[in-house]
Amino acid sequence: MANIQTLEVPIKGMDCAECTQHVQHAISKLDGVKSVDVLLATEKAVIRLDPDKVDMPAIRRAVASTGEYSVPETVSPPRASYIQDFNRQLMIVLALVFGVVLSIVIAGEWLGLFKFLEELVPFPIGVLIVAAGGLPIYRNVIRAALKRQVISHTLMTIGVLAALVVGQWVTAAIVVIFMRVGEYVEHFTTESARRAVKELIAVAPQTARVERDHVEVEVPVSEVRVNEAVIVRPGEKIPVDGEVISGHATVDQSSITGESMPIEVSNGSHVFAATIAKLGSLRVKTLRVGADTTFGRVVKMVEEAEAHRADVQRLADKFSAYYLPVVAAIAALTFLISRNPLSTAAVLVVACSCSFALATPVAMLASIGGSAKRGLLIKGGKYLETLARADVVLVDKTGTLTLGQPQITDVIPLDGLPHSEVLTLAASAERYSEHPLAEAVRTAARAQNAQFYEPENFESIPGMGIRATINGSLIAVGNRRLIPSADSLPVVKQLEEQGKTLLFLSREDQLTGILAAADTLRPEVPAALAELRALGIKRIELLTGDNERTASALAEKLGVAYRADLLPENKIEIVKEYQAKGHTVVMIGDGVNDAPALAQSDVGIAMGAAGSDVAIEAAHIALMREDWTLVPQAFRIARRTMGIVKMNLAFTALYNVIGLSLAAFGILPPVLAAAAQSLPDLGILSNSARLLRQKEN
């Protein structure tokens, strides 16, 4: 079997969606390349390949063969925000220049100045001006033609030739000017879409101060080793994910969670890379570095989100491929009917295929990048589009609707076992369990200064509980599926009707104790569920492994449907059940026990994914802080994004229909057609930029 590897290759020179198609086509033809996603936002290609058949020099040659793009030898660091500010200012200047040039062109056409210029300058000189001004564009068109490809500038170049054929070199020159202006407009349109992603990447610290041989040394972050001690001073960014081993500080975690309120950390606290120690200094034991940190994983997901393209984006890409031949056919028909070469040239010049290709990705990139800053990690436009039409929401209980920090409220000894011994045996058996209820048992036992026994033959049974050998006796701690004999006791019904979750303890298959735990409902949940209903969600259903009575008590309090006594595989079947009925299903869980259901759902949302590998990998959307207000916010963002995408597509379609019609009937001359074809890009940019300014609520 081939050894398939994934390689990320930076690509230089891509400014439009059409560029990515050319690069993707060139790389995909290489023998040994299994798949390739070319990402415009982060200017790179993610390639799955067989390293025995294709290497980096071959990829570099393939990209270079396009004639327009290249693979740089070194990767430049993310640009600072002041450069982004410069780009924004330059974009404004460019728009003003465009407006001034357009006004001059209209006035010149109306006053007949262009005719005077044609008479003043000899035609051969005019041809040289046109050739020199558009040389880079002509070169790309010729290269594409040699590869049997038609690009957006192909039609405009034909329009330039048509103008020269009829002796109007000034018209051809103005078309070239607007072709060049259009290139810059599209470049900055793309840069604006990239901005949110690049600013996110630029947050990452580049160096770290580490202790080596009792001396503080500043090194690049990539050289920090796991378990090494990192020193963080007041006002500095924390460079790694780690555990505080000394010191105390107030940390701003907004880069990870989107939460503006700083938190206090001290010994034993976990901290994340790219967060800022506002007050105080820290000594941190390194647990993760670079791409393995929570921030690194967030950046990677945002970078690759473009690969998960929405269906509407794929449709637009296909439309763009067929659009240019259709325009060529319209131009030919125009010439056959009117015999007017200028009208034919205007048809070719006014067609704007790039705007179709830009309509979706610009909006998606703006939305995904902006959402990441607020603690909402969306893995691709595909999931935004799906979330926008979702009508069923399924919700886990522990750690999702509740805080996931249950406390033991009742300990009931049975079979003559002392109260303290029930806690000691349960806590000892649960000593190495990661379940929230296990931690509650251990906490209660520590509060009574219990001495834990060392468990042997520990066995975790998903959806049921655990078994272990304690002092030679088989101890089981779990729910009624693990210990069915517990169901007949009157006290069980009484406790469960109070909404408490019960753990049953048995020794050698003999029921010896009951522990009752209560978890706290997240305070923002009722209001968030009300918002989901107001957004038109038809059904919200609680899925839990708790028993019928406990689930019923919580569901009644929240006004939702419920299903109880579920194993992880049961939740998957429920997701499939709704999908089979034609519903679009959103599953919200904690990303651990619910990982299979999160993956099966149309959109899986993981709560509080900061630091959780399973949550980020399994879910399609991850909430980087445990805050239910982000859930309806995600729905609103998805719907607003799709609304803007549809507006972009409708505007582009209408604009092109009007432009082609006016050009075909001779109403729009080539000069104004050249100016008109650049306007949709500006419209798409300004419309999509609203997603960067969307409010959190």
The residue among 206, 195, 189, 239 whose CA lies nearest residue 81 is: 195
Confirm or reject CATH 3.30.830.10 for domain 407-518, answering yes or no: no
Whether the Cβ atoms of residue 458 and residue 466 lie closer than 8 Å to each other: yes
Length of the chain in residues, anyone?
A: 697
Highest mean pLDDT among 66-70, 81-85, 154-158, 340-344: 340-344
% of the chain exceeding 90 in pLDDT: 22
SS3 351: coil
SS3 179: helix
pLDDT digits (tens, 9 = 90+) for 538-551: 899 999 887 788 88
The residue among 682, 688, 678 whose CA lies nearest residue 179 is: 678
Alpha-carbon distance of 497 to 516, in angstroms, equals 12
The predicted pLDDT at position 78 comes to 42
Q: What is the DSSP letter of 237?
A: B
Tell me what the mean pLDDT of segment 1-6 comes to. 71
At 12, which amino acid appears? Answer: K
pLDDT digits (tens, 9 = 90+) for 77-126: 444 443 344 444 444 555 555 555 555 555 555 555 666 666 677 888 88
At 41, which amino acid appears? Answer: A
Residues of the chain with CATH 3.40.50.1000: 375-402+523-636
Alpha-carbon distance of 246 to 636, in angstroms, equals 42
Which residue among the candidates 396, 594, 602, 681 is catalytic per the annotation? Answer: 396
Residues of the chain with CATH 3.40.1110.10: 407-518
pLDDT digits (tens, 9 = 90+) for 565-583: 887 788 889 999 999 999 9
The predicted pLDDT at position 370 comes to 78
Average pLDDT, the chain: 80
Instruction: Determine the CATH number of domain 5-64.
Output: 3.30.70.100
Lowest mean per-residue pLDDT among 51-65, 157-171, 567-581: 157-171
State the fold for domain 375-402+523-636.
Rossmann fold (3.40.50)
pLDDT digits (tens, 9 = 90+) for 378-395: 887 888 889 999 999 999
State the fold for domain 225-288.
2.70.150
Q: Is the pTM of this model over 0.85?
A: no
The residue among 143, 187, 141, 136 whose CA lies nearest residue 26 is: 143
State the distance between the two ends of the chain, measured CA to CA, in whole angstroms. 51
Is 50 exceeded by the pLDDT of residue 462?
A: yes
Is 80 exceeded by the pLDDT of residue 690?
A: no
Tell me what the mean pLDDT of segment 163-179 comes to. 77
Position of tokens 């072709």?
Answer: 179
The predicted pLDDT at position 83 comes to 38
The predicted pLDDT at position 312 comes to 67
The residue among 187, 605, 199, 192 whose CA lies nearest residue 365 is: 192
Alpha-carbon distance of 595 to 575, in angstroms, equals 12
CA-atom Rg of the chain in angstroms: 32
The residue among 563, 593, 564, 559 whose CA lies nearest residue 578 is: 563
**Backbone torsions φ then ψ of 217, nearest 5 degrees:** -130, 135
396 in catalytic set: yes
Lowest mean per-residue pLDDT among 318-322, 451-455, 627-631, 689-693: 318-322
Whether the Cβ atoms of residue 241 and residue 272 lie closer than 8 Å to each other: yes
pLDDT digits (tens, 9 = 90+) for 360-373: 777 887 788 778 77
Residues of the chain with CATH 2.70.150.10: 225-288
According to DSSP, the residues that pair with 563 across neighbouring strands are 543
The predicted pLDDT at position 353 comes to 60
The predicted pLDDT at position 622 comes to 85
Residues of the chain with CATH 3.30.70.100: 5-64
